[in-house]
Structure 1
Amino acid sequence: MTEIQFKELGIVEYSQTYEAMMQLIESQPSFHSIWSLEHFPVFTIGISEKQIIEDKTKNPPFIKTDRGGKTTFHAPGQLVFYFILHMKKLPFPPTELTKKILETTSLALSTYDLKHEINAHDPGIFLNNEKVASIGMRIKKNYSYHGLSINIDTDLDTFNSIKPCGLDVQACNLKDYIDINVDNFKKDLLNKFQQMLDK
């Protein structure tokens, strides 16, 4: 069984976190690593984005990334999980990673008796056709990186100033649907991610 290291980073800058992921991958760790955090306000631009360009002078800045997907927004009040996983040590095919993470997140949400659905075409989780969770991954040197974001109580006005992930939908917050204890929800998610990787 592969060791899993969990890190709680608090509220951090996106660019610094990305550099930390790259440094970890360069070290070729033998273990899996899952980071939970929030970001200071930032738009990140995925490799599929064709309309929005990088502009670090704006507030919030627009930063180009190498993850899958289009443009999304991160800010305090949004839970982010980064998965730096050793692809050769997964208990399932690497091509199923995004699907497994979304299914595991859905499992955690199901404990709240919350009606939701996974959208496989535009990867994420939706409540009443509004997007509450987004995912974008990348693989490099046999490691995954980037990950999952879940809107708990974040700045939706700024988020919805763009089309979230290039979709004609609005983003939403979990708190608008359920009374949620963030620490307990995070703990449950991390436990379920561990089970996902232990199978």
Structure 2
Amino acid sequence: MKKANASSIFFRVIEESQYKKTWNKMRLFTVNREKDTRDEIWFVQHSPVFTLGQAAKPEHLLIRKEIPVVKSDRGGEITYHGPGQLVVYLLLDLARRNMSIKELVSFTEGLIIDLLRDHGVRAHSVSGAPGVFVGERKIAFLGFRVRKGRTYHGFSLNVNMDLRPFSMINPCGFEGLEIVDLNMLGKNPGMEVLIDDIRTMFRSMLH
């Protein structure tokens, strides 16, 4: 994996946004970018929505209520996004960085684990289940799409949110999977702190 200069990354903080709106912007950015376009990392919170990745099965949506359901082009299964969850979109030129999608997944999981450790939470990854866990409870979710060597989508981290909608689905396709957020673990550093930490980590790790 080649480490490109972090100055080639632009960090963008977006106000709470509908998932479809941000998704469309990501796709347009990726389709229209050129070989020297700067990579971008977007931070956002979404209005409540269930998203179905390419591997998702309709039966994993257990209860249909007023929460919108969106079929997405990202990898993975079904998940939930809502206020109090930090979503981080990685719009990276993997070919330019000589990075495979497998390396990106491993890199991202490691970054989240390090971030949580810095806030007093011991977390780990699980083989065959992309994301990050605290014990047997899942706290962070991954899903990417690669188009001509460029990636979009990214990861989400549960910070301080209403977790009840996760009971309406089989999260990531796993029946009975328990979900947790930082607040439940007695940690709530706030979104701005986490965004600053993640920005610093990317600058350090992708120098």
- How many residues were matched structurally? 196
Where do 1:3-18 residues align within 5 Å? 3-18=8-23
In structure 1, distance between residues paired with 2:59 and 2:27 = 24
In structure 2, distance between residues paired with 1:138 and 1:107 = 24
Amino acid of the structure 2 residue aligned with 1:190: R
Provide the aligned C-alpha RMSD in A: 1.9
Amino acid of the structure 1 residue aligned with 2:16: I
Amino acid of the structure 2 residue aligned with 1:186: I
1:132 aligns with: 139
In structure 2, distance between residues paired with 1:106 and 1:90 = 22
1:196 aligns with: 205
Question: What is the TM-score of this pair, normalised by structure 1?
Answer: 0.91
Q: Moved runs in structure 1, 4+ residues, more than 6 A?
A: none
In structure 2, distance between residues paired with 1:166 and 1:95 = 20
1:24 equivalenced with 2:24 (yes/no) = no
Q: Deviations over 1:22-42 (max 9, x none)?
A: 111122142111000000000
Q: Deviations over 1:103-158 (max 9, x none)?
A: 01111111123122112311111112111000001101221011100011112111
Q: Deviations over 1:38-94 (max 9, x none)?
A: 00000000111123499xx95211110111111000000000000110112226444
In structure 2, distance between residues paired with 1:134 and 1:53 = 16
In structure 1, distance between residues paired with 2:186 and 2:167 = 21
SS at match of 1:123: strand
1:98 maps to which of 85, 94, 105: 105
Question: What is the TM-score of this pair, normalised by structure 2?
Answer: 0.88
Structure 2: runs of 5 or more not aligned: none
In structure 2, distance between residues paired with 1:159 and 1:105 = 21
1:121 equivalenced with 2:128 (yes/no) = yes
SS at match of 1:160: helix
Greater mean alpha carbon deviation, residues 134-143 or residues 21-30:
21-30
Amino acid of the structure 1 residue aligned with 2:193: N
Where do 1:174-189 residues align within 5 Å? 174-182=182-190, 183-189=192-198
Where do 1:2-151 residues align within 5 Å? 3-29=8-34, 30-52=37-59, 59-90=66-97, 92-151=99-158
Structure 1: runs of 5 or more not aligned: none
In structure 1, distance between residues paired with 2:189 and 2:151 = 29
Amino acid of the structure 1 residue aligned with 2:122: K
In structure 2, distance between residues paired with 1:52 and 1:140 = 28
In structure 2, distance between residues paired with 1:153 and 1:36 = 16
Asked if the contact 2:11–2:40 (Cα under 8 Å) also holds between the matched residues in 1, the reply is yes
In structure 2, distance between residues paired with 1:171 and 1:193 = 26
Asked if the contact 1:5–1:34 (Cα under 8 Å) also holds between the matched residues in 2, the reply is yes
SS at match of 2:43: strand
